[in-house]
């Protein structure tokens, strides 16, 4: 198993020691190599909390995460940073590109931090440039690009370390519909080539591209839908129906 989340619980203590917020009460699931998983749930359901914990940016109150059977528990901040760089790729809603660096330097950043040689960086970049169609963007600066172009560059930055899993937080959230379609197509392609993807999204359309959708409610995994042989349209309707159930507090069959 590539990624295992075991009984994750996250309690936020509000400042001044007042009340507690249980963001995650008991979340367990696993992701196999090559999967494409979307995580959905209403606002405040705990999706960002979950993603931050999976990204090792935040620690659970209890429970644990295993990547390839390895627990990150007990790692010091420096080890964690190296672990993140080596094993995880990140794509964010607002791109998180640095405006003072060219696109190429933004993409190289994770490799620079890992002390890779220029030759190695260039040889890793070449196939990505081709796949993502970003040749003409490399010498530009992020502020010169459209949202869709920025997100393609951010995907290149996420992929350049050959991560075991790409974690995406609402990756289509700031994109128009054309750029959204392009990004979803790209995610599908890289997944078909074997890249494991995990994406938090509010978008039914984005989730309908995933092979599995996990719904979080009240800090727990409420339901899962496997795409299996379903078309994207069928998947879309099934997700929309489940979201309606979530919002209206309805019961699922067998639940």
Ligand X SMILES: Nc1ncnc2c1ncn2[C@@H]1O[C@H](COP(=O)(O)OP(=O)(O)OP(=O)(O)O)[C@@H](O)[C@H]1O
Q: Which residues in this chain contact ligand X in the complex, by CB under 6 A?
A: 12, 14, 21, 23, 41, 43-49
Closest CB 234 distance from ligand X, rounded Å = 25
Closest CB 30 distance from ligand X, rounded Å = 20
Closest CB 17 distance from ligand X, rounded Å = 12
What is the spatial distance between Cα 254 and Cα 35, in angstroms, rounded to a whole number?
Answer: 25
Closest CB 137 distance from ligand X, rounded Å = 29
Angle made by CA atoms 213, 6, 77, in degrees to the nearest 5:
105
Helix, strand or coil, per DSSP, at residue 235: helix
Pick 14 or 253: Cβ nearer ligand X: 14
Closest CB 200 distance from ligand X, rounded Å = 7
Closest CB 29 distance from ligand X, rounded Å = 15
212, 226 contact by CB (below 8 A)? yes
Pick 8 or 111: Cβ nearer ligand X: 8
Interhelix angle 147-159/118-132, rounded to 10 degrees, is 130
Query: For residue 130, what are its two tokens?
Result: 């081709």
> Which DSSP string do the residues of 31-94 spell out, in sequence order?
E-TT-EEEEE--TTSSHHHHHHHHTTSS--SEEEEEETTEE-TT--HHHHHHHHHHHEEEEETT
Pick 10 or 124: Cβ nearer ligand X: 10
Query: For residue 128, what are its two tokens?
Result: 């990505």
Closest CB 15 distance from ligand X, rounded Å = 8
Helix, strand or coil, per DSSP, at residue 120: helix
Pick 15 or 78: Cβ nearer ligand X: 15
Query: For residue 163, what are its two tokens?
Result: 């991560």
| SS percent in the chain: helix, strand, coil, step 5 | 40, 25, 35
28, 50 contact by CB (below 8 A)? no
Pick 155 or 216: Cβ nearer ligand X: 216
Pick 46 or 142: Cβ nearer ligand X: 46
Pick 7 or 123: Cβ nearer ligand X: 7
């Amino acid at each position: 198993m590539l990624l295992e989340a075991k009984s994750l619980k996250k309690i936020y203590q509000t400042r001044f020691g007042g009340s507690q917020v249980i963001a995650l009460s008991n979340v367990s699931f696993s992701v196999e190599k090559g999967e494409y998983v979307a995580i959905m749930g209403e606002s405040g359901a705990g999706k960002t909390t979950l993603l931050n914990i999976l990204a090792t940016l935040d620690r659970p109150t209890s429970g644990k995460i295993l990547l390839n059977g390895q627990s990150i528990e007990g790692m010091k901040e420096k080890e964690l940073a190296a672990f993140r760089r080596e094993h995880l790729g990140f794509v964010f809603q607002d791109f998180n590109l640095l405006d003072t660096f060219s696109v190429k330097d933004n993409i190289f950043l994770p490799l620079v931090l890992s002390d890779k040689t220029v030759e190695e960086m260039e040889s890793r970049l070449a196939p990505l440039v081709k796949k993502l169609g970003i040749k003409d963007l490399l010498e530009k600066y992020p502020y010169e690009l459209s949202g869709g172009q920025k997100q393609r560059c951010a995907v290149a930055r996420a992929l350049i370390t050959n991560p075991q899993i790409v974690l995406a937080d609402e990756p289509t959230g700031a994109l128009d519909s054309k750029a959204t379609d392009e990004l979803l197509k790209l995610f599908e392609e890289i997944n078909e080539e074997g890249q494991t993807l995990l994406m938090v999204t509010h978008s039914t359309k984005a989730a309908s591209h995933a092979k599995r959708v996990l719904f979080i409610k009240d800090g727990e995994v409420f339901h899962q839908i496997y795409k299996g042989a379903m078309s994207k349209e069928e998947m879309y309707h099934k997700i929309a129906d489940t979201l309606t159930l979530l919002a209206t507090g309805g019961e699922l069959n067998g639940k």
